[in-house]
Every structure is written in structure tokens, then in C-alpha cells.
Chains A and B, each alone.
Chain A
Amino acid sequence: MVRKGFFAGAILVMALQTAAIGAMIYKRAMQLQTGAEVVLESGFVDPRDLFRGHYVTLRLRVGDLKFGEIETDRKFSRRDFVFVELKKGDGQFWVANKLWHEIPAGTDKLFIRGAITRVPDKAGQSYRIGFAYDRYFAPKKRAKELEKFRRDQKLGVILSLGKNGLGVIKGITVDGEIIYNEPLY
């Protein structure tokens, strides 16, 4: 049995699904173009685990903050959303300045949004914050280059941050040298 209106329906489905994909790419390109650029230092757990598949596991330093060494607007609980206020550090990286529950009104400072994964209850412990930027996919050939990464070199993540604290990865640096730079499309 021939279904009536199938051709028009197929065109509609195709158009809407393509538009959804296009919107994903366009939104990210706009974020890259209009966002504020910051470079955050990333640590790693084990250099042998640097690549699982073709991606680098990122662990932003601003997500591991010692209790007592970082100011907070009020007490945090596990799973709370957190906005980490950033300031330019002494070196190449931006660092955490204060933790907020919401972005304060009328500020022109930069924030990165995350979620609290561990709350410290005594000195010596740290606030652990999870960010959406936990991995960076790299082509196989480029991934091989990063295997030469040494412990004494500093890995940096270039982010393009929006006013709402959300952002996209713009590139990767090693010892201040940009090794990946994301194209718009």
C-alpha cells in the first residue's frame, strides 16, 4: 500500500534533521567567534593514560581548589552548580578567584560553569568541580605527537567562554605554544 504524502513527509523530516545538525555546528561557531578567550591549565592523572582512543583526558586545575584557599559566596553541597570566577594568573593561565552559586549581576568578570563533585569538610581537603570539558578528541596522527608530552611541560586548554559561563574548546597549548587551533567549521 502506498502511503500518501510520503514524499513531502520525507523532505520535511530530512530538512528538520539537517537543520538540527546545522544548528549544532552554527551555535558552536558563534560561541567560538563571540566568546572571551581564556587559557586554563590542565593536569593529568597518568601520562600513560593520556590517550584512551584518540582523546586527551583533561583535568582542569580550576576544578581542584584547596579548602580555605578559595573564597565562596556561601556554603556548597555536592551536585550544586558552581560558577568559578576567573582572573588572569601570573603566568600564561587563568586561575580561580571565587566560587559563586550564581553569576553576580552587573559584573564584567569571566566565569566557568561546573558542578561540585566533592565538598571538603576540613583544611587540606579540596573542592572538586566537574566541568563539561573532560576530554579532547584528536586525530590519530596528532594524538601520536602528544604522546611525547612530558610531565615537566604544561598542558593548557583554550576556552571560548560566554557570559553564562558555558564555553567551547578553542585549542590546546603545550608550554604556551598552541598545538591545536580549532577551525570555525
Chain B
Amino acid sequence: MQFGYQTRLERDTKRWIEKELIDADTADAIISESRSQKSGYSFSSIVIILGVISLCFAAMTFVAANWEEMPKIMRVSLLLAGMAIAYLASVLANQRSMPVIADAFVLLGCGIFGATIMLVGQMYHMQGRAQDAVLLWAGGSLLAALVLRASTALWLAIALFGLWMWFDSIEKIDFKEAQINLLYLVFWFICAALAWWLRSRMSAHLLLISIIGWIFITVFILTERYDTPIFLTGLYAFWFVAIAMAIISHDRGQWLRGAEAVVIRYSVMIIFGIVTLWIVEGASELARHPTYAVSENRYLLSMVAMLIVALAILAYAMKQKSSQIYDLAFCAIWIGASIFIASSVGVRIPYLAEAFGIALSIWFIRMGARQDIPEVTRMGYLGFVLIMLLIYFRTAQSLLGTTGFYLTAGILMVAGAIFLPKLFRTKKTEPEVA
């Protein structure tokens, strides 16, 4: 149970008693029930996991310290014995119904496995790419997560696959022939399926952070390519579908097992990142390549597919008489708008991407308020300011004077900051019409 939730509940129950909505006994019953809900991970469990992470680092620094006297094969044997002890300890912990400790020992076993790979590579002068060693480590950790159903090993595997993707990308990022690392997506989906099966919330966070990293690295790899803006357009359309799916999931039965708000938060973050890059790179890139026929563009086709999915979700919501039709419709509208932008090949529309970014920011502010996800509202405000700044960098020396821009932007932002929240508060206090 979150500290923030408990405090809010106590404050709310006090107010409800004052308004005579509930009596004091009911309030006490609600608060004591809430307090009885223990978190899955107690403080001592967290300390144990942190301790095991420290032991992993200890094992690795032990390797780095180069133990001089022992024969090589003895050193390897010692580490393999340490790995075996860690796994056997996890078996004992599992038999004693201590799943968190069992998971911690599985993590230790995987840590020692990685340390052994590093040691063998160093001791036997195995030359080669660092990413190959990381990939082997990630594969071993994924195996442990799958076979032993250990979330901790999955966290490590996700982090290592991300590291592998990073190593692989920095090797390729400086030349134009670099290919998008599609193999990473295969690993990502396997990890995602496993995270869903294990109901691992932490893994979901790590997966989302990793995919954001992949998207941005991919964009950098593609920067020099003529179809980058369209690629970005196609790519970000997917995240509107993700938002739509999270909204309908929350409304109809929590198919994502309570991770809906997280998906929306990360999707908004990714969309903002892509739109910002899109603005920086210039949507007008499209206009520079008029011979690039839209009908031949596979990214546009994927975008149309995303629009169909978004419309299908909207149709389902309407059939179910969902209260979320407004936001679901907007998800489809944004994808439709992006198809329009991508289709306008050869037609240079000034500040199209910037206008799109501002419109999106306003929707995020509103959606955050409607869905009661304050982070999305904050990101909306932040995005609004960011896009205004980007417009400033484009217009300061041309259309507008710097002072004029600051004046306009300032008035808009202050007005937005003061009036928009008030408008939402007013709307929220109005009684809902059935």
C-alpha cells in the first residue's frame, strides 16, 4: 500500500465524516482495512535484494582484481561452484516458501554467471565483441527467469538485452549502412511475454524504458535517411494505439493487470520524444523528396493499419457504451492527422509539425485530467513549453522578433497555466449526466 494513498485516504475519510457521508466507525473500518493490505515486497525483502545486488558487484570486482596465484581453471571452477551454491540456496528458500529470497539467490546465480563469462574472456584472452559476451549473459539470465519463474532474473535479462542493443548500436551508429536492430525487438517481445506471465510490474517499467531507448537509437541510425520523418510518423502512431488499448483495458476489465496508467505515461513520453525529434529534424523533409511516392511507403501502410486498429477499439467502445469514447476517438484522430501529414509529400506546409505538437500537448493536458493521471497533464504542460521554445528558435530571426515571441508565448503560457486547470476543475465539479 502506498504511503501517499494511505495519507490521502485518511484525509478523505475525515472530510467524508464532516460531510456526514460516512460515520466514524465506517471510516475506522476503511482505514484499518487499507492498512492491513501489505505490500508484496516488505522492507526486509527489499534490503535482501539490495544485499544480493551488492554481492553481484562484489563478485564482479573480485574478478576485476585479478587473483594472481590461482591456476586459471581453478578460478573458473570456484566461480562455477559459487553459482551452484546460489542456485541451491534459491531451491532451499523456495522449499521454505520464501519466494523473494529465492528470487534474490537466482539473481545472484545469474550475476556470477556473468562474472564468469567476463573472467573467462579476460583470462583466456578471448578477443571479440563485448556485445557477444553480454548477449550470452542475457540469454542465460532469460533462461533462469523462464525456468525458475524468477522476476529478478528477468530484470537482469531485460537490462542486459538493452546493454547489448546499446553496444551493437554505438558500433554502427556512425555509418549510413547501419541497419535497425530488429533482433532486439524479438528479445524484447520474449521478455514482455515473460513479464506478463510472471506479472512483474518492475519488468514492465524496464521494458518500457528499454523500448524508448531502442526507438531513439533507431531514429539516430536513420537520421541520415530520406524517409526518417515518415518512419517516425509510422512509429509513433503505434503509441496512440497503445494509449487506446490501455484506456479500453482500464474501462473493461484491466487486461493489462493494472499497468494501464504506466502504459499511458510511457506512451505519452515516447510520443513527445518522437514529435520533438520530428520537429527538430523537420517534417518538411518530406517536401524535399517529392518523388518518394506515398503508395510505396511501407511505413504509411503500417500507419493505416494502426488507424484501423484504433477505429476498431473505438467501435468496440461505442458498442459497449464506454465512457471513454472521447479520448479513444482522439487517438484515432491523431493517427489520421499523421497520415495527412505524411501524405502531403511535395506540399510544404509551414509549421505543420509544430502546430501538431501544440495540439497534442493540449490533448495530453486534458487527457491527463480526464483519466486522473497527473503525470500526463504535467508532461502536456512541459511539452507545450518545449514546442513553444522550438518555435522560438525557428522564428526568432524571421517571422517574429524575439521580444514579440516572448510576449506571445508568455501570454499563452500564463493564460494556459491559470485558466485551463480552473476550467477542468469547474468541469469536474459539474454533476455527471447519466
Contact of A79 among B109, B123, B177 (CB under 8 A): B177
Interface stretch of the complex, out of A12-20, A41-49, A91-99 = A12-20
Contact bitstring A60-80, B, C-beta under 8 A = 1, else 0: 000000000000000000110
Residue of B nearest to A180 (CB): B125
Q: Report the separation of the CA atoms of residues A168 and B125 in the bound assembly, to the nearest whole angstrom.
A: 7
Contact bitstring B407-421, A, C-beta under 8 A = 1, else 0: 000000000000000
B128 within 8 A of A: yes
Contact bitstring A8-32, B, C-beta under 8 A = 1, else 0: 0111111011101100110010000
Q: Report the separation of the CA atoms of residues A54 and B63 in the bound assembly, to the nearest whole angstrom.
A: 13
Contact bitstring A168-185, B, C-beta under 8 A = 1, else 0: 110000000000001101
Docked-complex contact A20 and B68, CB < 8 angstroms: no
Residue of B nearest to A27 (CB): B126
In the complex, chain B residues whose CB is within 8 Å of the CB of A78: 175
| A21-B120 contact given A9-B148, A185-B73, CB 8 Å threshold | yes
Docked-complex contact B126 and A133, CB < 8 angstroms: no
B102 within 8 A of A: yes
A106 within 8 A of B: no
A99 CB to closest chain B CB (Å) equals 20
In the complex, chain B residues whose CB is within 8 Å of the CB of A182: 124-125
In the complex, chain A residues whose CB is within 8 Å of the CB of B116: 21
| A137-B97 contact given A6-B102, A13-B87, A16-B143, CB 8 Å threshold | no
Docked-complex contact B83 and A17, CB < 8 angstroms: yes
* Among A17, A20, A183: residue with most chain B CB under 10 A: A17
Contact of B148 among A6, A21, A183, A185 (CB under 8 A): A6
B88 within 8 A of A: yes
Contact of B124 among A20, A28, A131, A140 (CB under 8 A): A28
In the complex, chain A residues whose CB is within 8 Å of the CB of B123: 137
Contact of A168 among B68, B127, B140, B177 (CB under 8 A): B127
In the complex, chain A residues whose CB is within 8 Å of the CB of B136: 20
Q: Report the separation of the CA atoms of residues A139 and B127 in the bound assembly, to the nearest whole angstrom.
A: 17
Docked-complex contact B72 and A185, CB < 8 angstroms: yes
Given contacts A3-B102, A135-B127, 4 further A-B contacts (CB under 8 A): A3-B94, A16-B140, A18-B83, A133-B127
Question: Could you show 19 A-B contacts with beta carbons less than 8 Å apart?
Answer: A1-B99, A2-B94, A6-B102, A7-B91, A10-B90, A13-B147, A13-B148, A20-B140, A21-B80, A21-B113, A25-B124, A132-B127, A133-B127, A134-B127, A137-B123, A140-B66, A168-B125, A169-B127, A182-B124
A interface residue numbers (CB < 8 A to B): 1-3, 6-7, 9-14, 16-18, 20-21, 24-25, 28, 54, 78-79, 131-137, 139-141, 168-169, 182-183, 185
Among all A-B residue pairs, the 5 with the closest Cβ atoms: A132-B127, A9-B147, A169-B125, A10-B87, A6-B94
